[in-house]
Homo-oligomer: A and B are copies of this chain.
Amino acid sequence: MEKNETLSGDKPRPWQSYHTVYTNAKAGMEGVDKEKVQRIIYETSKGSKYFENEEKKEAVLRQKIENMRAQRAKLSAADLSHYQTVADRRILELEATRDLSRIWLHVDMDAFYAAVETLSNPSLKGKPMAVGGMSMISTANYEARRFGVRAAMPGFIARKLCPELIFVPTDFKKYTYYSELTRKVFEKYDPNFMAASLDEAHLDITEVCKERGMSCGEIAEELRKCVNEETGLTCSAGVAPNRLLAKVCSDINKPNGQFVLTNDRMAVMTFISSLPIRKIGGIGKVTEHILRDAFGISTCEEMLQKGGLLCALFSHSTADFFLSVGLGIGKTDTPQVRSRKSISSERTFSATDDETLLYQKLADIAEMLCADMKKGGLCGRTLTLKLKTASFEVRSRAVTSEKYICSSEDILKYASKLLKAELPISLRLMGKNSHYGLYSLLSEGENELFCVLIHVFLSGSFLTYWEMYLDGEGILNEHNLMPCRTYKMTNHFICFQAYACLISMKTRLVPHLIQHKKLSTTS
């Protein structure tokens, strides 16, 4: 079942279709009757709109893979040797950036939400339980996992797999409280630790190990013990020379275990060599599938062996990522400032073609989003509307406003405009008076909307710099922020880096150069 599926290979049984394979995922599922689980999932999903959409997506992916194969086949011998030299060269350069001087620890709480719920209600102990509802579950405890129940699985399927499964609704307050307790512990080992989510964090333990004269394994043991004492929860840890590897390592002896990869190039290379690429953070279902079926790559080692192909067919940065995975190279720095870049709110509801209802939903979400933004004192310029149809097709539409958007009115104004532009779909297709066409399309379930997201990007992928200009009072206020343009950074200007409304000074003041003005205001 885990064998390489190739496009020309044996036809898998229907329930082995890749998109239903929850059991392929990262954490261990030892002792589970995987085939039975797959079959139940398949039979429960089959025929649903969701399933049909997954099949469509799978077909699109297959096509994409077919294209890559074709491109690969088109490469001449000269191309191949050329890209091989490119890859070899890049591998050398990446190797030169390898940093083995830092020790990173990745902590991952075991079945976090489920464990917290069990703490507050010990009667759950030993029984299969999941946090979430019938539509979606967030986590399952280990008892439930033995039935094939997993995070990100809809609840009604989980119940098919395990009829006695107990459902506990999510209660983020509780998880945040316990998360805070764990972070208090983490802080003691690395005051600048990086929280990845409520239940995961990266710690640079280089200094702690040195100061306290302990091995990193001992530190990890102590940290896990300490977390357990403070919270009553268990966690797993991975230690490695960089964050990428540490994350992989923390998964190895889960739950309540740890794994240390020593800061040694040989050890890293051995570790990485036969590692399935899917274990690597950043390589998800789609990328795994592409690499396997278009390039025959399943392990990290093969990333290096097929480096030439990767450089030929992927973008520079993607190829770079793949090659560094093959080398077991990852980030070792602690980024200075990590400011939030976007904020969003979305809600799924049952399918409808009632426009009034849709606008009402939109207004509700705008309200929620606005409240969240107010809480953080944030505002942004790019507003994205995300729509999901009854057939699970996802669309997004965005606008960028000249002014910053903060109020729920503004949010609603722009979001409505975007929604309006999408709405008379069927009318547009069939002509204004063709109600027959309208209803026949609706009855096909293609166009009703049942999910709306409003997403405000606080800044684009590029840095935006602002020239400061002094008004009568020499004050920089939110109104001088209006003229948003992105410029090449030069030190001829007084620049501010603006993320959301948070402003931090970037370069020194050079008053006599102010007159080389490049920006305009819209005030």
Contact = CB atoms under 8 A, between A and B. Distances in A.
Given A431-B472, A521-B421, A446 B483 contact: no
A397 B520 contact: yes
A125 interface: no
A514 interface: yes
Given A78-B89, A85-B85, A421-B483, A471 B522 contact: no
Given A428-B469, A471-B431, A472-B431, A421 B517 contact: no
A39 to B, nearest CB: 33
Interface of A: 78, 82, 85-86, 89, 92, 397, 418, 421-422, 424-425, 428-429, 431-433, 441, 446, 469-472, 483, 514-515, 517, 520-522
A446 B517 CA distance: 11
User: Taking the full assembly, how many copies of this chain does it contain?
Assistant: 2
A429 B515 CA distance: 6
A344 B469 CA distance: 33
A401 to B, nearest CB: 14
A446 B514 CA distance: 13
A86 to B, nearest CB: 8
Contacts of A514: 429
A218 to B, nearest CB: 42
Contact of A429 (B85, B431, B517): B517
Contacts of A418: 520
A522 B421 contact: yes
A470 B433 CA distance: 12
A514 B441 CA distance: 12
Nearest to A469: B428
The 7 closest A-B pairs by CB, nearest first: A421-B520, A431-B472, A428-B469, A422-B520, A432-B472, A429-B514, A429-B515
Contacts of A469: 428-429
A428 B521 contact: yes
Given A78-B89, A78-B92, A425-B517, 4 more contacts: A428-B469, A433-B472, A441-B515, A446-B515
A92 to B, nearest CB: 8
A82 B429 CA distance: 54
Nearest to A88: B82
A522 B399 CA distance: 13
A82 to B, nearest CB: 6
A291 to B, nearest CB: 23
A393 to B, nearest CB: 9
Nearest to A423: B520
A431 B474 CA distance: 8
